[in-house]
């Protein structure tokens, strides 16, 4: 793993992105979008696993405008409080701009094949959903994003594959909102929604408090297949 510096497009400075490289090249690239806990051990392990599938992975430090190199866990209330404060102070529009800059950098990495997508978890799941609407990514994968039903009016702007993994018992995304999302996606040529019954929010967070091995393995398998199809 190495650290790259990427210039922000608004002139505010530059931010770091963790780079994980595949063993074989040329290869496609994946922008990994963090949870509210920053680029912590769980995100780094997820990035390493995706790189092991044969992709470059760039994980940008999205909270850099508030605090650089946030590294929290879900194991204490103090860390939860810090994470929620960072999420509340996060400017999503600037975050989307940073992700677009990261996506552009990912396409031109030495050894990259020019194809690039996103995969995001929690806060990152929401941002990956938005990237499907607002960017030219070749694929986007959203894990348990919250409030995705606020963007259903924009589904006609999605022209590349979007995979949406939904926790069947998500404490942060109301059942009514989840149902609206699933219904709206029916028949869309590019959007696939998958619901994991009994799984709570963050079911795929490695070593997380809501880790659900069955749901995570099934979801990750679907993600791996979709990435291979879109980026190779």
Residues designated catalytic? 170, 201
| β-pair type (56-60, 14-20) | antiparallel
Q: Burial, 189: exposed, middle or buried (Cβ in 10 Å; 0-12, 13-18, 19+)?
A: exposed
**Size of the chain, expressed as the number of residues it contains:** 232
- HEC string of 140-156? EEEECCCCHHHHHHHHH
- DSSP H helical segments within 53-76, as ranges? none
DSSP 14: E
Which value, in Å, is the radius of gyration of the alpha carbons in the chain?
16
Quote the CA–CA distance of 73 and 81 in Å, as a whole number: 11
């Amino acid at each position: 793993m190495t650290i790259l510096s990427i210039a922000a497009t608004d002139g505010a400075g530059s931010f770091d992105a963790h780079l994980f490289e595949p063993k074989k090249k040329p290869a496609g690239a994946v922008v990994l979008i963090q949870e509210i806990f920053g680029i912590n051990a769980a995100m780094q392990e997820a990035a390493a696993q995706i790189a092991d599938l044969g992709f470059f992975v760039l994980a940008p430090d999205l909270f850099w405008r508030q605090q650089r190199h946030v590294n929290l866990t879900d194991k204490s209330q103090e860390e939860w409080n810090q994470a929620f404060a960072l999420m509340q102070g996060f400017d999503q529009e600037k975050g989307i701009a940073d992700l677009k800059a990261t996506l552009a950098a990912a396409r031109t990495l030495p050894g990259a094949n020019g194809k690039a997508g996103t995969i995001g978890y929690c806060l990152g799941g929401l941002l990956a959903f938005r990237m499907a609407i607002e960017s030219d990514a070749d694929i986007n994968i959203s894990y348990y994003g919250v409030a995705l039903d606020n963007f259903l009016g924009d589904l006609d702007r999605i022209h590349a594959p979007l995979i949406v993994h939904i926790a069947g018992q998500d404490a942060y995304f109301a059942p009514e909102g989840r149902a609206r999302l699933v219904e709206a996606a029916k028949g869309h040529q590019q959007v696939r929604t998958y619901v994991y019954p009994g799984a709570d929010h963050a079911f795929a967070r490695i070593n997380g408090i809501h880790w659900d091995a069955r749901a995570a393995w099934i979801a990750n398998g679907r993600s791996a297949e979709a990435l291979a199809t879109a980026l190779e």
